[in-house]
Amino acid sequence: MKLDTKALRYLTSEDWRVLTAVEMGSKNHEIVPTPLIAQISGLRGGSGVHKCISNLAKVNLIARMKNAKYDGYRLTYGGLDYLSLHTHLKRSTIYSVGNCIGVGKESDIYVVASPTGTQFVLKIHRLGRISFRSIKNNRDYLKHRSSASWMYMSRLSALKEYAFMKVLRENGFRVPEPVAQSRHTVVMELVDAFPLRQINEVPDPAGLYAELIDVVLRLASFGLIHGDFNEFNILIREDESPKMEGETPQEPEANDSNTENPSKSSITLTPVIIDFPQMVSIDHANAEMYFDRDVNCIKRFFERRFNFVSDESGPFFADVKKLAGGKKGKRLDIEVEASGFSKKMAKELEKYMREIGVDGNSGHDEGDQSTEDDSEASDGPSEAQWPLNDSTVDTQSFGDMSKDNKDCEPNAPFKETIHTSVAGLSIITNQ
């Protein structure tokens, strides 16, 4: 859904109290009764509460259910978005919202900026979007698990991703730096990189393959399995490598127009891993299946895209499980549990994601390999962060909503362009 922040600046403190009351009432009610909203909000006079309800309903932050047995309202995704943005605003984490740079079945990705102008990524988890399209399936699901609402599960997904990003970052893994988390949203570092799925050629496929397999093995040594380790969730960043002292640069050939300037630093390709809601412990019942799937996804992609096949078989789950705990016996899955994301939360989230069809496979079909290159190039925005030109980002300040956000349209028409980066990457870009 589109994130429209135009009405944010016009909401009064009373409106926020009523919207928060609907959120609190949603913990025990699918439709929150109007008297309960008035009671929780603590506003005096029924007319004031009804006026606030009317204001919120006009901008689709809450919705009235038709044919309900009683008068009540439910919180919409737009209302939850506003509550989350309001929290980030009060914390001075976000000041402005920019373009939508990615959309998937599980989340939406936006560029945002802090009060100092630093650009971040805002990831909005929307786990209920796919399964709640069918009213019948929605009712059947709530009948058996009333506590597992879309709002609660989206919050768990965001909490899990933030917890794993934080602990991975602290232990030297290349992941976006987590900045803040509120409800179903996560604010993280904006990585200036290309998704692996958009890269058509690399100078050293064997070296990149070995580095990615090493990431899988290193995660396993810390007791973790990514669960969705594929070209959609791997970013390739170009980092400058400083020259060694006393190194004499080689003179470029006269007819070589692609040779870099010898005065410049060399460029190295650095993989950055994203998307962690499907990450599981190595002690998980299906850990071997998730591990093998991660390894096979990388092998298949490198064979199809770069015509590279490793001479070595494996790695195999039986071998890497012996390494779990690392040299110092450190288990990051246990650290995450200690940080507040409990096993009960993990089981609830996993069961919900499995029932709605989000099992870590990202919905990417691996069966049709003959048309893989064409289909990947024609896909819309994925979970990955798209490369951006900072000078063209159209941001919206919460204080000045004179411009509309661009809508996320995953099937919008585009033109395909292939260009070569300074490191020799052949990049597929959509215009």
Residues serving a catalytic function are 228
Token pair of 93, please? Answer: 């984490």
SS3 of the chain: the string is: CCCCCCCHHHCCHHHHHHHHHHHHHCCCCCCEEHHHHHHHHCCCCHHHHHHHHHHHHHCCCEEECCCCCCCEEEECHHHHHHHHHHHHHHCCCCCEEEEEEEECCCEEEEEEECCCCCEEEEEEECCHHHHCCCHHHHHHHHHHCCCCCHHHHHHHHHHHHHHHHHHHHHCCCCCCCEEEEECCEEEEECCCCEEHHHEEECCCHHHHHHHHHHHHHHHHHCCEECCCCCHHHEEEEEEEECCCCCCCCCCCCCCCCCCCCCCCCEEEEEEEECCCCCCEECCCCCHHHHHHHHHHHHHHHHHHHHCCCCCCCCCCHHHHHHHCCCCCCCCHHHHHHHCCCCHHHHHHHHHHHHHCCCCCCCCCCCCCCCCHHHHHHHCCCCCCCCCCCHHHCCCEECCECCCCCCCCCCCCCCCEEEEECCCCCEEEEEC
CA nearest neighbour of 349 among 199, 176, 147: 147
Contacts of 16 (CB under 8 A, 6+ apart): 86
The rounded distance, in Å, linking the Cα atoms of 61 and 78 is 5
Biggest CA pair distance of the chain: 83
Q: Which residues pair with 23 in a beta bridge?
A: none
The rounded distance, in Å, linking the Cα atoms of 134 and 144 is 16
